[in-house]
Amino acid sequence: MPVLIGLGLGPGEPEYLTLRAVRILREADAVFVPGKIAQDLVSPYRHAEILDFPMTGDEVRVLACMEQNADRIATVARSGMAVLGILGDPNFFSTYTRLNAIMKTLYPDIRCRTEPGISAITAFASVAGLSLSGGFLVTDGPAEAQSRIMLKVRHPRQVADTLRKEGYRSFVLVERMCMEETHVYRDDELPDESDYMSVLYAER
């Protein structure tokens, strides 16, 4: 099946690559990365081609590069498994998110999915010696976050009703993630009660 995987490589420490990441790197038909740091991280397992993802406010240039990268990746992903290795986690303020949107527009036949990596957020807490168990806001600029994640939600429908009054409109509940009997519920599907091992995502 044609597929592009956004693969989290962790914050830069080679031993923070997951076992799953190493396996995917070895199995991929081709691996792409956004720069030399990521290339060095994957080099013990296979060669990776560096693509240009400019860090600039010039949106015209950014879009042109994204489209060029999508075209290059599609040459592999159309008939096999292409991997884009990203520092940190591909779902946290990541280049992959923008590329994914371009891929869905230009190449809707190619399935895009992600594999998580250790994010800068959790790595920071470890390096700084901090506990983040009291809850925290993560943002790349805006004072008010667009989304909210809540852990250990036992009454998701009730919580969602409360959050709707604060302007949240879209909800996803993942119950018993990465365990047997994993369930994903969206919006009106939210159950009245859920397992202790539940995560609720809310978006404005």
**Please, which pLDDT band fits residue 40 given cuts at 50, 70 and 90?**
very high
Task: Return the bridge partners of 202, or none.
Answer: 148, 171
pLDDT given at position 178: 86
Q: What is the mean pLDDT of residues 34-62?
A: 93
Does position 162 have pLDDT exceeding 90, yes or no? yes
pLDDT digit string (tens) for 96-145?
Answer: 999 999 999 999 999 999 999 999 988 989 988 988 888 888 887 777 88
Rounded to two decimals, the pTM is: 0.85
| Cα–Cα distance measured from residue 50 to residue 35, given in angstroms and rounded to the nearest whole number | 6
pLDDT given at position 114: 97
**Please, which pLDDT band fits residue 187 given cuts at 50, 70 and 90?**
very high
pLDDT more than 90, % of the chain: 79
pLDDT digit string (tens) for 76-91?
Answer: 999 999 999 999 999 9
pLDDT given at position 136: 83
| Cα–Cα distance measured from residue 73 to residue 84, given in angstroms and rounded to the nearest whole number | 9
Task: Return the bridge partners of 30, or none.
Answer: 82
pLDDT given at position 93: 84
Across the chain, mean pLDDT equals 93
Q: What is the mean pLDDT of residues 158-172?
A: 95
Q: Which residues contact 71 (CB under 8 A, 6 or more apart)?
A: 106
**Please, which pLDDT band fits residue 156 given cuts at 50, 70 and 90?**
very high
